[in-house]
Amino acid sequence: MEKGILKETKSKRRKVYLTGDDAIAEAMRQINPHVVAAYPITPSTQVVEAFARFAANGEVDTEFVAVESEHSAMSACVGAAAGGGRVMTVTGSQGLAYMFEVLGVASGLRLPIVMAIANRALNSPLNIHGDHSDTMAARDMGWIQLYSENGQEAYDNIIQAIRISEHPKVRTPVLVGIDGFQTSHMVETLTVEPDDAVKRFIGAYIPSYPMLDIDNPILYGAADKPDYYMEHRRSNLEGMIHAPEIIRQIGREYGELTGRHYGMVEEYRMEDAEYAVVIMSAVAGSVKDVVDQLREEGVAAGLLKVRAFRPFPVEEVISSLSRTKCVAVLDRCGPGGAQGGPLFLEVRATLYEEESRPQVINCIYGLGGRDLPQRYIRDVYLRLREIARTGERGKLVDFLTVRE
């Protein structure tokens, strides 16, 4: 639907209706990276298709490389980024799994690559619908992870991700997730910034040790023996350690530009909440509705939505949850043998040393795109109230909506 809109319109802030995938592609068009090497996979395919259309129509200067697999996509991105370019890609699920071995190369070499992910379940069984198991499987690969509730956040997160990853104190690749189909294919109205405002916000790309600078030759990807690997690993952590401060700073700057403010988390009616749900991404929207309904009934419900999962928002989680009585962490990813889902484990570890800390339970929801009706969320809050009243926790990990 963007065809036929004159270039002059793109120099204004405007409201558009786009799918989540198209919103991401629009952000990528405005960023105009040097290289995009990507391979299609449902439900992120439309991002790549839309962007390829921009490239074919000359609306971007990007070198679009149609690679033969996601492994090649990330390898090409690593090469281009090391060469000295601003680089982006898109994938999800099995595609992300396919590029798994190169993820560590990107983060180990401290390359500021930005990757959009339409979160989708991992095989087997094969399922093309949304859940977080793909990016959760890659959570320790040294990438910053931001999760988006809707198309607006996806658009905003992609733009901020460029600044975050390229910041000299961070120099770490960033992935931005949206729920597959639920957000990627749903059309919503969102606000898109003017082309030149985005260009000014992200700034010119300043390469660090570009390989194409042949007058100052350097080597990327050396091998270590046991005498140096630990030191290199510790050195790489510096990017993650400084990232929270930068994510908050960029979020504030973006808020000043657009009126939409971002931080590591979003709190919804948490100031006096007794019962809280912690969740990421699309279903947070449903939780907000349930919180409003329960508040009308006099239940002190609140929502803590985690936006940055890596690095984990330790400060925000402590300050937000330590005053509550009971918390349910909702994971859109199975425990896979651990004591609970990944978000649950992080929240529990974060609260371990707090003198006053709530009871924390885990609910697994939405696997393989399973819808989570609001009545289930409501029941979670009422269960939290029961636990607070009786002191009996019951099940630690509950699979919501599963037929048993």
Partner 1 sequence: MKKQELKKWHELPIGGLILDMGNSAEYQTGEWNPNQVVWHEDTCTQCFLCWINCPDAAIKVKDGKVIGIDEYHCKVCGICVEVCPTKPNSLEIVSKETA
Work out whether 214 is an interface residue with partner 1 (CB under 8 A): no
Q: Which of residues 40-69 bind partner 1 (CB under 8 A)?
A: none
**What DSSP string runs through 340-395?**
S-HHHHHHHHHHTT-SS--EEEEEE--GGG----HHHHHHHHHHHHHHHHH-----
Q: If binding is defined by CB under 8 A, does position 218 make contact with partner 1?
A: yes
The Cα 47–Cα 38 span in angstroms is: 10
One-letter amino acid for residue 164 of the chain: I
Please state the closest distance from residue 38 (CB atom) to partner 1, in A: 23
17 binds partner 1 (CB under 8 A): no
Name every residue whose Cβ is closer than 8 Å to that of residue 173 and which is 6 or more positions away in sequence. 103, 106, 107, 111, 112, 113, 114, 115, 142, 143, 144, 165
Quick check: 155 and 190 in contact, CB under 8 A? Answer: yes
Instruction: State how far the Cα of 265 lies from the Cα of 147, in Å rounded to an integer.
Output: 10
Q: Which residues contact 255 (CB under 8 A, 6 or more apart)?
A: 261, 262
Closest of 358, 370, 356 to residue 401, by C-alpha: 370
Q: Is 235 near partner 1 (CB under 8 A)? A: yes
Verify binding: residue 6, partner 1, rule CB under 8 A: no
From 45, 108, 41, 100, select the one nearest 74 (Cα to Cα): 100
One residue of 209, 268, 376, 399 binding partner 1 per CB under 8 A? 209
Q: Contact between 100 and partner 1 (CB under 8 A)?
A: no
Contact between 224 and partner 1 per CB under 8 A: yes
CB of 49 to partner 1, least distance (A): 33
Select 189 or 235, whichever has its Cβ closest to partner 1: 235
| Nearest to partner 1 of 6, 222 (CB atom) | 222
CB of 82 to partner 1, least distance (A): 9
Separation CA 50–CA 56 (nearest Å): 10
Q: Distance (Å, rounded) from C-alpha 24 to C-alpha 404?
A: 38
Q: Which of residues 110-129 bind partner 1 (CB under 8 A)?
A: 110-111
Which of 24, 38, 109, 250 is the binder for partner 1 (CB under 8 A)?
109
One residue of 101, 228, 289, 389 binding partner 1 per CB under 8 A: 228
CB of 229 to partner 1, least distance (A): 9
CA atoms within 13 A on the CB side of 371: 3
217 makes contact with partner 1 (CB under 8 A): yes
User: Based on CB atoms, which residue is closest to partner 1, 231 or 289?
Assistant: 231
**227 in contact with partner 1 (CB under 8 A):** yes
Among 208, 319, 339, 374, binds partner 1 (CB under 8 A): 208
Reported residue count of the chain is: 404
234 near partner 1 (CB under 8 A): yes
Taking the complex as a whole, the smallest distance from the CB of residue 223 to partner 1 amounts, in Å, to 9
Interatomic CA distance for residues 110 and 202, integer angstroms: 19
Identity of the residue, 171 or 310, whose beta carbon is nearer to partner 1 in the bound complex: 171
Residues forming the site for partner 1 (CB under 8 A): 108-111, 171, 208-209, 217-220, 222, 224, 227-228, 230-232, 234-236
